[in-house]
Amino acid sequence: MSSTPTTEQVQKALSTVHDPEIRRPITDLGMVKSVDIADDGSVRVGIYLTVAGCPMRGRIEKDVTEAVTKVAGVTSASVELDVMSDEQRKELQTKLRGGQAEKEIPFAKPNSLTKVFAVASGKGGVGKSSVTVNLAAALAAQGHKVGVVDADIYGHSVPRMLGASDFPTKVEDMILPPTAHDIKVISVGMFTQGNQPVVWRGPMLHRALQQFLSDVYWGDLDVLLMDLPPGTGDIAISVAQLLPGAELIVVTTPQQAAAEVAERAGAITAQTHQRVAGVIENMSYYTPPGSDEKVHLFGEGGGQTVADALTKTLGAQIPLLGQVPLDTRLREGGDEGKPLVLTDPEAEASKVISSIAENLVGRPRGLAGMQLGISPTKR
């Protein structure tokens, strides 16, 4: 006959349950309200939700039930849901911000280990968002913790392309971003009704971007990708002001006309004092089915032209990071919310993008470079 489980055993099981949005144990977040164990081994667990309309309530209830049921001696498990008080939410918000109640942009701090890449283009239609989404998916597949800011306020498309259908959750004035393919994502499209256009001027754009960076709880990211609007307008300037350490990735096509415009998008860093990580040439060539011939539908050499021109303008070597072939499945994957690098990692376009991702960031950092707060003791 099995013995009645202890509160410590149940609490240990609950520590394996992570909040789906915050990605931390519910025991660390103050979400466990109570644990009641009956003599017959039945367990009733009280759980605090962060907000009344929590979109993940079903998932949390399911995960808690499964974890508790696995404890030896438990005959049944039930979950009672409650909602945090305003005071509890404020405590949670302060805890998530590392004890700092005030807002700050974590990626702008001197000790931040997150690499920030702003993906830019001179003009629209070059596949900048497709490249951003597939880069993010490739980095996540390689083991990195990745976030994406859809900073293309007027032409936001990242949520659809990533298949991010959930809405953000608001805890006080902190926003918990939805996750798709292990990528945290935020977009102004998540805050507008239907397909309504965003009609904002410069100050509003700056404030929106600032909120995406300071109000959103991103957690400990390895990489943050920002999908910028085409050109060198307000958002590009705001990124330079808010995240001076962000590096620029310039996307172009082989067409010389597109290359000339893309060069301007990268040359802005001469004034903002940012670094250009490199140039990606998208739609470089097309390989017909059953053939090894590369058909250059949009000309040749645009990517290298931009890289060479920026090298000359900026006085630093700017590499051509890669040439992504034209593949209709990139577009189809974007429409379906399934990035090609995940659905067909062996596709030539997927291999190129994955190689770019690996060369940009390298291996997951683990504990390398992190301050553990350990100091030597005196003997």
Count of positions (residues) in the chain: 379
123 token code pair: 């003009």
Residues 144 and 272 in one domain: yes
Residues 144 and 271 in one domain: yes
Q: How far apart are CA 238 and CA 272, in angstroms?
A: 10
Residue 184: strand pairing partners: 147, 179
181 in a structural domain = yes
Q: For residue range 160-185, what is the model confidence (pLDDT) as tens digits? A: 999 988 888 877 778 888 899 999 99
92 in a structural domain = no
pLDDT of residue 351: 96
62 in a structural domain = yes
- Name, of 3-17, 108-122, 268-282, 339-353, the range with top average pLDDT: 339-353
166 in a structural domain = yes
**Residue 371 binned pLDDT confidence (cut-offs 50, 70, 90):** very low
Residues 38 and 131 in one domain: no
pLDDT of residue 100: 55
Q: Which DSSP category does 6 fall into?
A: P
Mapped onto helix, strand or coil, the DSSP state of residue 45 is strand
Residues 52 and 153 in one domain: no
**Residue 14 binned pLDDT confidence (cut-offs 50, 70, 90):** very high
CA 34, distance to chain mean position in Å, is: 34
Is the CB of residue 261 less than 8 Å from the CB of residue 254?
Answer: no
**How many angstroms separate the Cα of 188 from the Cα of each of 173, 198, 299, 348, 360?**
16, 8, 35, 32, 27
Residues 118 and 25 in one domain: no
Q: For residue range 32-65, what is the model confidence (pLDDT) as tens digits? A: 999 999 989 899 999 998 877 777 888 899 999 9
CA quadruple 102, 105, 111, 112: dihedral sign: positive
205 in a structural domain = yes
Mapped onto helix, strand or coil, the DSSP state of residue 222 is coil
100 in a structural domain = no
Give the CATH number, domain containing residue 114. Answer: 3.40.50.300
The pTM assigned to this predicted structure is 0.72
Residues 161 and 275 in one domain: yes
- Which residues does the annotation place in the binding site for ATP? 122-129
Q: Name residue 205's amino acid.
A: L
- Give which of 152, 147, 94 is closest to 125, Cα–Cα: 152
Q: How far apart are CA 279 and CA 244, in angstroms?
A: 19
Residues 128 and 64 in one domain: no
95 in a structural domain = no
Total domains in the fold of the chain: 2
Residues 304 and 178 in one domain: yes
Range of the domain at 191: 106-361
Residues 326 and 208 in one domain: yes
1 in a structural domain = no
Residues 155 and 278 in one domain: yes
- Give which of 152, 78, 92, 90 is closest to 118, Cα–Cα: 152
- Which residues does the annotation place in the binding site? 122-129
Q: Is 110 exposed, middle or buried (0-12, 13-18, 19+ CB in 10 A)?
A: exposed
CB within 8 Å of 153: residues ≥ 6 apart: 188, 198, 200, 205, 208, 209, 229, 235
**Strands of 247-252's sheet, edge to edge?**
179-180, 183-187, 146-150, 223-227, 115-121, 247-252, 275-282, 320-324
Residues 163 and 20 in one domain: no
